[in-house]
Chains A and B, each alone.
Chain A
Amino acid sequence: QKEVEQDPGPLSVPEGAIVSLNCTYSNSAFQYFMWYRQYSRKGPELLMYTYSSGNKEDGRFTAQVDKSSKYISLFIRDSQPSDSATYLCAMNRIQGAQKLVFGQGTRLTINP
């Protein structure tokens, strides 16, 4: 069983929809949680970073962490065609340690 599970999709939604992306993890040692976005032929870029359980909002993006359930989510409001990409969740055990464990990635398409 992988430490981090993420539904690979693909996920296709109409423009303007609310998108929900999720990851579950098995190792309670994970403390830092990130969401990356990766466009085709590009490297991943950091979207959101969270530490504690709860919600963190940044524009149209909201990251949610539930450590008790070992479950994290990324919500995208008012989705745009430019949001079409692969979204990867990533986790880290120790602050500053650069050894991220990634989910498989969910391929998202926003249809105009």
Chain B
Amino acid sequence: KAGVTQTPRYLIKTRGQQVTLSCSPISGHRSVSWYQQTPGQGLQFLFEYFSETQRNKGNFPGRFSGRQFSNSRSEMNVSTLELGDSALYLCASSYLAGEGTDTQYFGPGTRLTVL
């Protein structure tokens, strides 16, 4: 099975712009979670989508948003970019059969640099 894919892998934007990142989960996985990784704060949970609905949300401002499509692919959007948004954005997918704890499989991430 192909792993989690994320596009683009690298992105450079300027302050005030907006950006959209894409994530394709492992085939058959219905849950997609997004995380932000920075040297100072480490890995922080952004939000999780399941069946096109946001089920969990982390402590990030409303500039961070996401959505999930019927094929489970997900996008996250950051509007009005700030320098502090520079980070590695990671997407993780899991099957969520409802029994047992479902392993989250991470993609390689999108490295966003805000200038």
A-side residues, CB < 8 A to B, are: 32, 36, 41-46, 49, 51, 88, 90, 92, 95-105
Contact = CB atoms under 8 A, between A and B. Distances in A.
Nearest to A8: B42
Interface string B90-115: 10101010101111111111000000
Interface in B1-60: 4, 31, 33, 35, 42-45, 48, 50, 55-56, 58
B42 A103 contact: yes
Interface centre among A43, A90, A92, A105 (most CB of B within 10 A): A43
A3 to B, nearest CB: 11
Interface of B: 4, 31, 33, 35, 42-45, 48, 50, 55-56, 58, 90, 92, 94, 96, 98, 100-109
B45 A49 contact: no
Nearest to B90: A43
A92 B100 CA distance: 13
B100 A95 contact: yes
- Dominant secondary structure at the B interface: strand
B109 A99 contact: no
A102 B42 contact: yes
Contact of B104 (A41, A42, A98, A101): A98
A99 B56 contact: yes
Contacts of A32: 101
B9 to A, nearest CB: 9
Contacts of B43: 44, 88, 90, 100, 102, 105
Given A49-B103, A96-B98, A102-B44, 18 more contacts: A42-B109, A43-B4, A43-B106, A43-B107, A43-B109, A44-B106, A46-B104, A51-B101, A96-B100, A96-B101, A98-B50, A98-B96, A99-B56, A100-B33, A100-B43, A102-B42, A103-B42, A105-B43
